[in-house]
Amino acid sequence: MAADVKRYVTSCSVCQLTKPCQRKPAGLMVPILPQKPWEYTGVDFVGPLPVCAVREATAQVAASKFVSEVFSRHGAPTYLISDRGTPFVSRLFEHVVSTLGTVHRLTTAYHPQTNATERVNRTLKTAIRAYVGDKHTSWDKFLPQICFALRTAPHESTGLSPSMMLYGRELDTPLDLITQPSCDGVDEPSILYPETLRASIKEAHDHARAALDHSHNRQKHYYDLRRRQATFAVGDLVRVKSHPRSDAQSNFTAKLAPLFTGPLRVSQKLGEVNYRLSNLDTGTDAGVFHVVNLQPFHTWDSSSSNRRDVPVTEEQHDPEALDNDLPHAQTDIEADLTAADMYYDTPDDTDPVSDSENRDTVVASDPDPDPDCTGRYNFRPRPCPRITSGWSGSRWTNSYHTDRLDLK
């Protein structure tokens, strides 16, 4: 019975769509370990800002920047990771990326952690904030210096700078002109320099892969401490976390909107943490979602309740048989009250035993009733004497208070 009640309450659709989840977020970390530079390339737009180097984030601008800034300098990356913004899901951008032989992968909705560029944007915006001061309209003038600083700084995960990973050497800075020795008397580079450079780059890549593997294990350990494992099977019903926005024109307030939408059905499992969902009624594709935004949707099926059919005999249907089995059972309201809820009311000049012979006898449902307590119970409240203070202004007039307080 308790299990049925619990499942019935859990299956309340209103509660499932409006109440927040109090458990740890679902989804463990799945690290991506690249094997070479530019194998995985992330792209994203930052803004809005006062003056934009790219005034409009359109599909044409995104495709043009990808060709001019990435492909023309470093070649076509193996994988390109982006969010599901309109410029990146357009047919123009998809055509340009596929023509260059790059596999375009989209992050799931409301889960930007997949794209490492989001973390770079955080560092970039912090540096811009520190550089511009109160000159907010000239932030784009500091971008070359900021990018150079980021390209020459060692990365925490790899232990090497991006320039060392890409070129096999560190970029010269103005400080190097002071600290490095003069080039006078230094021999010209030999023909073995390409082999030396290639070996240096290979050594940097091997070191970076080992450092990344160690860093990913450490990050995964601490990340998973705040997460829990959650899996769904194809056909399961789930509810999706919603992200509504307030609309003053339609009097819609996001604070009062349901926290989840659904139910939706799992139609395909993509990897360890991503699922493709479909509409429950029409069967149309509802998109791909990360498990952190999914919660199971419970339904109530009365036929699957844990009720056991207990055989009932004819004797149990007989009311007289029930009364015979319960010697203290009463059909009156008195049987529903215990001795603690009632009190015995008998005048001083009345014998309770003899008086009970002329009246109905009521026996309290106590396993060991008092034999002297055989009179009728009075269900009316006992009158309580009203006690006043007894203070007349100069002395106590109530003998009760006088005796109690010893004020005579």
Domains and CATH numbers, the chain: 2-14+230-304 (2.30.30.140), 40-182+190-224 (3.30.420.10), 310-408 (no CATH)
pLDDT at 187: 55
Q: What is the mean pLDDT of the chain?
A: 74
pLDDT at 266: 93
- The rounded Cα 250 to chain-centroid distance in angstroms is 29
Task: Mark the ranges of the chain whose per-residue pLDDT is less than 50.
Answer: 185, 307-367, 399-408
Q: Are 295 and 21 in contact (CB under 8 A)?
A: yes
pLDDT at 142: 84
pLDDT at 277: 93
Cα–Cα distances in Å, from 284 out to 107, 110, 257, 262, 264? 20, 21, 24, 14, 10
Q: Which pLDDT tens digit goes with each residue over 97-142?
A: 999 999 998 888 888 888 888 888 888 888 888 888 888 888 888 8
Maximum Cα–Cα distance across the chain: 135
Query: What is this structure's pTM?
Result: 0.57
Q: Do the bridges between strand 79-82 and strand 103-106 make them parallel or antiparallel, or are there none, so unpaired?
A: parallel
7 three-state secondary structure: helix
Rounded Cα–Cα distance for residues 96 and 67 (Å): 8
Tell the burial category of 258 from Cβ atoms under 10 Å away from its Cβ (0-12, 13-18, 19+). middle
Q: Which pLDDT tens digit goes with each residue over 330-341?
A: 444 344 444 444
pLDDT at 360: 45
